[in-house]
Structure 1
Amino acid sequence: MQYFFMVAVGATLWGFWPLFLRPAGLTGVQNALLAMLTMALPTPFLLRREALKDRRATAALVIMGAADGINVALYFAAVNRGPVAVAVLTHYLAPLMVALVAPWVASERRSTRALVGAPFTSLGLALLVWKPGADFSGWTALLGSASAVLYTVSVFCAKEAARAWSPLGVTSVHSAVAVVTLLLLFGPSALPPVQPSALWVVAGAVLCSLTGNILFNAGLRRIPAASTGALTYMEPLTATLVGWVFLHEALGAMGLLGGALVLAMGLWVATEPRNSDSPLPSISGTS
């Protein structure tokens, strides 16, 4: 039971990111750079010659870092733009995408539930985003969905990189690659201003990312795969509640129905019986 608790707490901590991003007042790219830089700090102590010799795993780690850096920047931009529920639930299209493309990318069994659930998930997102008489949150949904695509890429790369790199090595080293990627793509605009509010993002990275990932990965190997997939959905549930309670973001009846439909479809797909080596999403990029 303690391992279930550790995974649930780890995923829940990821959902508290909005509380740290909004007060900082930084752009999505600046937030992403600070978060990734914090997670990358242990990198010099994790570089191993044996792991580097596995060129395929190392290449996957580099691709993962590049994709995840942009993924986090897009997701944080979506959270900043709001509503939080739209940002996090569109980002959580990633588990569905993983299940849909796994047969082609990882030669795994086709997910019947993912195929059946795809149109219902789309309907749920439409109900969540569409608010008559209110500002259209389509840009938030677009940013969140784009981050989900890139996160899907990072999931499969992480699976390959894990053949030679430890879980902490994958987390920290790919974060270092993400920092370099963001600096190359965005240049000086990626650098956050030197101001106390930036410490909010660093604190968020320590609590939501490092602590959340350590708890999640510590319990991950001791519980069933289906339970892991289901418990991962503690993040969007927590983030949606944070937006409602602390940021005073109203969902409305249709939004609640749409969010519930997205969560229900995600849980249904995540709990489908799979092979033990199926790639299960862990939102370590947002976390």
Structure 2
Amino acid sequence: MPHRTAADVALTAMAPVAWGTTYLVTTELLPPDRPLLAATARALPAGLLLLAVTRQLPRGRWWWRATMLGLLNIGAFFPLLFFAAYRLPGGVAAVLGATQPLLVAVLGAAVLAERPRPGRILAALAAVAGVALVVVRPGAGLDALGVVAGLAGAAVMATGLVFTRRWGRPDGVSVLTLTGWQLTAGGLLLAPLTLAAEGLPPALDGRAVGGYTWLTLAGTAVAYALWFRGAQRLPAMQVSLLGVLSPLTAAILGWIALDQGLTLAQAAGFAVALAATALGQLPARPGRVRAAVREPKRRAVLVGD
């Protein structure tokens, strides 16, 4: 793997690792039963902070593009994620979320003309199986609305990733600026929904302030900037496969910080999911890349003739 690509993968992987801390922070530090407040408190302050730092607003068509990306990546994804988590016990929501690379493969072929390699398709399937072994508990129930919400959440996030890569960013606009636009748009869409569903926020103690601060800065502002950076530099399916690191990180933190047990099946699932994610990052063979480059040239000569 070229040095630059390896560095891009490593930086992008830091985003789902940071997202994987959300479960522990939410259960141990934040007020209970306030999922939409947590989502809004993550997105809106982070977006406004980045806007204050970059001091640049969208222009022209980027007003609606930033709003659309903010809706897909933040405003719609967060509520669907939390709704599925509440309706689906035993980590089923995490398994549905792990299907995102398969959805990206379909959307990427249609929107980006990125044909996924068979190896990455197999890696995505193995990752889903591995995550299921790690997080699904015996007797986990299936709720129809929860399943729909989980799949819809994976779909909107996959769509956001694909269009983030398709549209790139305007000339002279940094990744931090584009991230700020999306987080602000998503947060503004979440705020009225949060007030309507959960009312005004409660009084916060020091633990809650610390938890929200972590989620806002590390778990959102930094993490999404790294994620969107990766989406513009790496193939969409390669990026989406890194998302598997989020439930794996959550499981590791649960084992360490919450003293949750680790079964042999969970250990095997963890190894399978991690190996699948790593295999999904391998670049195409040079021979295949050269063939792909030569083919358009051959067609160009025929057309010219």
Tell me if TM exceeds 0.5: yes
- Aligned residues of 1:31 and 1:73 also touching (Cα < 8 A): no
Write out per-residue CA displacement over residues 142-172 of structure 1, whole angstroms, 9 at most, x where no aligned residue: 6554322211011123224433143112211
Match of 1:176 in 2: 184
Q: Which amino acid aligns with 1:241?
A: I
Work out the CA distance in 1 between the residues paired with 2:278 and 2:94: 15
Q: 1:36 aligns with which of 35, 43, 56?
A: 43
Matched, 1:261 2:290: no
Quick one: distance in 1 between partners of 2:266 and 2:158? 25
Q: What is the CA distance between 1:100 and its match in structure 2?
A: 3.3
- The structure with more radius of gyration: 2
Per the alignment, residue 221 of structure 2 pairs with 210
Which of 113, 125, 138 aligns to 1:107? It is: 113
Q: Distance in 2 between matches of 1:258 and 1:74?
A: 25
Residues 194 and 150 of structure 1: CA distance in aligned 2, closer, same or farther (over 3 Å): same
Quick one: structure 1 residues 224 and 171, their matched pair in 2 at CA, closer, same or farther if it must change by over 3 Å?
A: closer
Structure-1 separation of matches of 2:281 and 2:147: 22
**CA gap 1:141/1:195 in 2 versus in 1, 3 angstroms:** farther
Amino acid at match of 1:146: A
1:12 aligns with 2:17: yes
Which range moved further: 106-115 or 247-256?
247-256
Q: In structure 2, how many angstroms separate the alpha carbons of the residues matched to 1:122 and 1:7?
A: 20
Change in 2 beyond 3 A, CA 1:266/1:87: farther
| Partner SS, residue 151 of structure 1 | helix
Q: Which runs of 5 or more structure 2 residues have no equivalent in the other structure? A: 290-305
Q: Please report how far the alpha carbon of residue 114 of structure 1 lies from its aligned counterpart in structure 2 after TM superposition.
A: 4.0
Given the superposition, is the C-alpha separation of residues 99 and 251 from structure 1 closer, same or farther in structure 2, using an over 3 Å criterion? farther
Answer yes or no: is the 8 Å Cα contact 1:35–1:205 preserved in 2: yes
Contact in 1 for aligned 2:124/2:241 (Cα 8 Å): no
Distance 1:214 1:84 in 2: 30
SS in 2 for 1:209: helix
Matched with 1:195 is: 203
TM-score, reference length from structure 2:
0.68
Instruction: Decide which moves more: 194-203 or 174-183.
Output: 194-203
Distance in 2 (alpha carbons) for counterparts of 1:179 and 1:215: 19
2:263 counterpart residue number: 252
Q: How does 1:1-287 map to 2 (within 5 A)?
A: 3=7, 6-7=11-12, 9-22=14-27, 23-24=29-30, 25-41=32-48, 42-43=50-51, 46=54, 48=56, 51-53=58-60, 55=61, 57-68=62-73, 69-76=75-82, 87-117=93-123, 119-124=125-130, 127-128=133-134, 131-132=137-138, 134-136=139-141, 144-164=150-170, 165-185=173-193, 187-191=195-199, 193-196=201-204, 198-199=208-209, 200-213=211-224, 233-250=244-261, 252-273=263-284
CA contact (8 A) 2:72 2:159 kept: yes
**Preserved contact between residue 126 and residue 272 of structure 2 (Cα < 8 Å):** yes
Q: CA deviation at 1:34?
A: 0.8
Count of residue pairs the alignment pairs up: 270
What residue in structure 2 maps to residue 281 of structure 1?
A: none
**CA pair 205-92 structure 1, distance change in 2 beyond 3 A:** farther
1:232 to partner: Cα distance = 5.9
Structure 1 residue 11 displacement after superposition: 4.6
Per-residue deviation, residues 125-145 of structure 1 (Å, max 9, x unmatched) = 55456543x453768776554
Q: CA deviation at 1:32?
A: 0.7
Say whether the 8 Å CA contact 1:86–1:140 is kept in structure 2. no
Residue type of the alignment partner of 2:190:
L
Distance apart, 1:268 and its partner CA: 2.8
1:282 aligns with none
Deviation (angstroms), 1:176: 1.5
- How far apart are the structure 2 equivalents of 1:110 and 1:202? 38
Question: For 1:52, what is the secondary structure of its paired residue?
Answer: coil
Task: Give the AA of the match of 2:256.
Answer: V
Contact 2:56–2:177 (Cα < 8 Å) also in 1: no
Q: Output one character per residue of 1:196-255: Cα deviation in whole Å (capped at 9) or x when no partner.
A: 15422233221222234456778x59x987997776654333222012222344453334
Which residue of the partner structure matches residue 283 of structure 1? none
Unpaired runs of 5+ in structure 1?
A: 276-287
Please give the alpha-carbon distance, in whole angstroms, between the structure 1 residues aligned to 2:197 and 2:119.
42
Greater Cα shift, 113-122 or 243-252: 113-122
Paired residue type of 1:194 = P
After superposing the two structures, state which structure 1 stretch, 165-174 or 119-128, moved more: 119-128
